[in-house]
Amino acid sequence: MAAPIAESRSMPSLFDPIDLSPALQLPSRILMAPLTRGRATRDGVPTDLQRDYYAQRAGAGLIISEATGISREGLGWPFAPGLWSDAQVEGWKPVVAAVHEAGGRMVAQLWHMGRLVHDNVSGMRNISASATTAPHPAHTYDGKLALPEARAATLDDIERILGDYAAAARNAIAAGFDGVQIHGANGYLIDQFLRDGTNKRTDDYGGSVDNRLRFMTRVVEAMAAEVGIDRTGIRLSPVGESQGCDDRDNHGLFTAVAARLETLKVPWIELREPGPQSTFRATDEPPASPSMRAVYSGKLVLNSDYDATNAQATLDAGIADAISFGRTYIANPDLAERLRAGAELNAWNAKTFYTPGSEGYTDYPVLTEQAAA
């Protein structure tokens, strides 16, 4: 057994409460990171299995849902959920209610995958900031398939997609979620507009950093107009290349992004910021969080490769306000309790990350079951 973490310290402990915003008051700084698991129906409707999975993890200070499509066009992951149809809203209601009943809080991560959508899943042509082709094959219902070149969004497309973001945010609140997180990370549509490797536009949405920030800015404004800025957060992955999406100056770009989010009064940002030793998309680029922290006064949540020890050390360093845990939450439904007790963690099984059914999904043991065994 590892030693329990001391709770008397001047910097906040992982177990101290935090207000991510006036609308999001969390009992601890241990968040569940967004995790695609592919257990919805083919129409993107959440299932009873998802209800059980999320309810098991309600001990997190906040659950960030798996990435959830804002539209058929934007959703290219097999059996991932959506939030554009009435059936999807109805499907999410019991999931979120079960989390609330178990004492938890949950926000919906809202997703448009842009050029990374294969028509095998969406039935539609992929779209992006510019006509570019993603370098890696996509997961589809027929295995991994090469992605075709995306078409460049017209100004009409942009207005339509902004409307989809707004509608999905409204639907998230109708389904009972406590807020929304914009998926601005990992090389998806917003990232494709932000970075100059994928944004070759010559209109108001491309070229200068200011122009490349425009799409993200308008997404924030469109969603906040529906649900309030207090219920709106964003996830970014500022360092390193992501699914072929990169910028000549990630640090300069994402410091400008943080400054813009400050102006917009976005209350919290989550950063997936792997280091060179990361087991999830490692990069040698130094972290951008210190320069982003310098221009952003909201709450900063850091992610990637955290355990109890390095998570508390990161809070102690004064850059992060909270930590989100991904794969450790897959394998440990009672992660917050385990961290508090200094207990051993279950290991995750990557083979069942995306497979159908309960195996590797709702069958990871909690401490009380292990003690009884």
| Binding interface with ligand FMN (CB under 6 A) | 33-36, 66-67, 109, 183, 185-186, 235, 272, 280, 303-306, 325-328, 353
Smallest separation (angstroms) from ligand FMN to the CB of 65: 8
- DSSP string for 233-272: EEEE--SS-BTTB--TTHHHHHHHHHHHHHHHT--EEEEE
CA 156 to each of CA 74, 78, 192: distance values in angstroms, whole numbers, following the listed order: 16, 28, 18
Do residues 307 and 345 touch, judged by C-beta distance below 8 A?
A: yes
Is 59 within 8 Å of 32 (Cβ atoms)? no
Sign of CA dihedral 278, 280, 285, 286: negative
- Shortest distance, position 234 Cβ to ligand FMN, whole Å: 11
How far apart are CB 207 and ligand FMN at their closest, in Å? Answer: 27
Residue 244 beta carbon to ligand FMN: minimum distance, rounded to whole angstroms: 16
Residue 359 CA to its chain's centroid (Å) = 23
Element (H, E) at 183: strand 179-183
- In the bound state, the residue with its beta carbon closest to ligand FMN is 326
Q: Which is nearer to ligand FMN, 152 or 192 (CB)?
A: 192
Closest-CA residue to 274 (of 289, 259, 291): 289
Residue from 188, 205, 296, 361 carrying the catalytic annotation: 188
| Number of neighbouring beta carbons within 10 Å of residue 232 | 29
Token pair listed for 24:
């999001």
- Cβ proximity to ligand FMN: between 58 and 108 the closer is 108
Of the pair 206, 268, the CB lying nearest ligand FMN is at 268
**Shortest Å distance, C-beta 305 to ligand FMN:** 4
Least distance in angstroms from the C-beta of 361 to ligand FMN: 11
Burial class (CB in 10 A: 0-12, 13-18, 19+), 280: exposed
Burial of 101 (0-12, 13-18, 19+ CB in 10 A): exposed
Closer CB to ligand FMN, 70 or 152, in the complex: 70
In the bound state with ligand FMN, the residue whose beta carbon lies nearer, of 299 and 327, is 327
Task: Compare residues 33 and 152 and give the one whose CB is closer to ligand FMN.
Answer: 33
Kindly tell me which of 205 and 325 has the beta carbon lying closer to ligand FMN. 325
Helix, strand or coil, per DSSP, at residue 31: strand
The yes-or-no answer on residue 141 being catalytic is: no
Burial of 57 (0-12, 13-18, 19+ CB in 10 A): buried
**Residue 308, token pair as written in the block:** 């109890």
Smallest distance, Å, CB 372 to ligand FMN? 28
SS3 296: coil
DSSP structure string for 80-115: --BSSSHHHHHHHHHHHHHHHHTT--EEEEEE--GG
Question: Annotated active-site positions, please?
Answer: 188
